[in-house]
Amino acid sequence: MPRPVRLALLFLLLPLLAGAGPLFAQAYPAKPVKLVVPFPPGGPLDLAGRAIGQKLQDAWGQPVVIENRPGAGGNIGADAVAKSAPDGYTLVMGALSTHAVNPHLFAKMPYDALKDFAPVTLVAVTPNVLVLNPAVPAANVRELVALAKASPGKLSFASGSNGSAGHLAGELFKTLAGIDIVHVPYKGGAPAMQDLLGGQVQFMFDNLANSTAQLKAGKLKAFAVTTARRSVFAPELPTMAEAGVPGFDISTWYGILAPAGTPPDIVKKLNAEIVRILATEDIRDKLKAQGAEPSPTSPEEFAAFIRAEWTKYAKIVKDSGAKVD
């Protein structure tokens, strides 16, 4: 083909190529979508992912397959998505651990939490609550701080594992309040709660939904929530900042991300559909049953949120000295 003819054809095709992104997004999804949950089945992220996936499937007429890939604090599943084709057909339910804590907790990370993903939307935020064994002689956070200062190294707090939100909340409490308290890590939240109820440890920062039954039964007492704002689930509880520890703000959160390089139009389409789903009454009810507050965002807002959390936990993890080899 003569060169002038080739050039003429190229100029004719340029407008079509420029519009390929929107056309691709319009056709998306044309095949099944996989949503990777980097934690075991049955947990909050898994339940939320399955509920959202079903709604996406209903709306799009394409299967949305939930794939659980647990391990290494969520790193295995997140890494699989980071290395997937950036076409919108492989997504991950990322979380506080995979995108804010683990990058500072693990000596080696298989992915870059900030560069290897295209954030779609934050899904939900779960406030934690400071709960204590009733035998602890303190009636509020200020009295607990005074008790800890009067007996350095005598009070202990439980967590489900090293590097968990409950562990880091305790470390932040230690730093901001200037107290000497001992961290006791467990293999899961259930054994930690068991020892708290038995008095082997004095307090813990637990998921509010997990503690509700024990609080109602009078087996625990609650002093404050860990978020910057009061929780809609327990508006009577002050925040840690209101209770005397300024600057305290920790929550468990999760959201949906795609691999970096996913076409912006597909990210935008995913965002619009998931934000719509998060506004439906049944999804909101399912999240609230887990103690999670639906918190949809734009992709840009979610990206900024992750960067802020990454920076915040860099300091908290460093101050705590927590590491996972």
With cut-offs at 50, 70 and 90, classify the pLDDT of residue 289.
confident
> What count of residues does the chain have?
325
The pLDDT score that the predictor gives to residue 212 is 87
- Burial of 57 by CB count in 10 Å (0-12 exposed, 13-18 middle, 19+ buried)? middle
Q: Is 149 helix (H, G, I), strand (E, B) or coil?
A: helix
Q: Are residues 114 and 136 in the same domain?
A: no
Q: Are residues 66 and 208 in the same domain?
A: no
Provide CB contacts within 8 A for 84, sequence distance 6+.
Answer: 90, 259
Domain count, the chain: 2
The mean pLDDT of 174-190, rounded to a whole number, is: 93
Statement: residue 117 has pLDDT above 50:
yes
Give the CATH number, domain containing residue 38.
3.40.190.150
The pLDDT score that the predictor gives to residue 7 is 47
The pLDDT score that the predictor gives to residue 325 is 64
Q: Are residues 149 and 116 in the same domain?
A: no
% of the chain at pLDDT higher than 70:
92
Domain assignment present for 232: no
Per the structure, the complete domain to which residue 76 belongs is given by 33-125+252-320
Q: Is 9 helix (H, G, I), strand (E, B) or coil?
A: helix
Domain assignment present for 240: no
Q: Are residues 92 and 117 in the same domain?
A: yes
Q: Are residues 133 and 98 in the same domain?
A: no
Q: Are residues 136 and 115 in the same domain?
A: no
Helices (H), 44-132: 44-60, 75-82, 96, 102-105
Number of Cβ within 10 Å of residue 264's Cβ equals 12
Q: Are residues 221 and 132 in the same domain?
A: yes
Statement: residue 241 has pLDDT above 70:
yes
Provide CB contacts within 8 A for 109, sequence distance 6+.
Answer: 75, 102, 103
pLDDT one-digit tens code per residue, 123-150: 999 989 999 999 999 999 999 999 999 9
pLDDT one-digit tens code per residue, 24-49: 556 999 999 999 999 999 888 999 99
Q: Can you give the pTM of this predicted structure?
A: 0.84
The pLDDT score that the predictor gives to residue 291 is 86
The pLDDT score that the predictor gives to residue 140 is 98
Q: Are residues 211 and 294 in the same domain?
A: no
Residue 320 Cα to chain centre, angstroms: 20
The pLDDT score that the predictor gives to residue 85 is 98
Statement: residue 21 has pLDDT above 90:
no
pLDDT one-digit tens code per residue, 186-236: 988 889 999 999 999 999 999 888 898 899 999 999 999 999 999 988 999
Provide the β-strand partners of residue 230.
none
33 neighbors 109 (Cβ within 8 angstroms): no
**Rounded alpha-carbon distances, angstroms, from residue 238 to 140, 158, 246:** 10, 21, 12
The pLDDT score that the predictor gives to residue 5 is 47
Q: Are residues 121 and 267 in the same domain?
A: yes
The pLDDT score that the predictor gives to residue 14 is 52
The pLDDT score that the predictor gives to residue 290 is 86
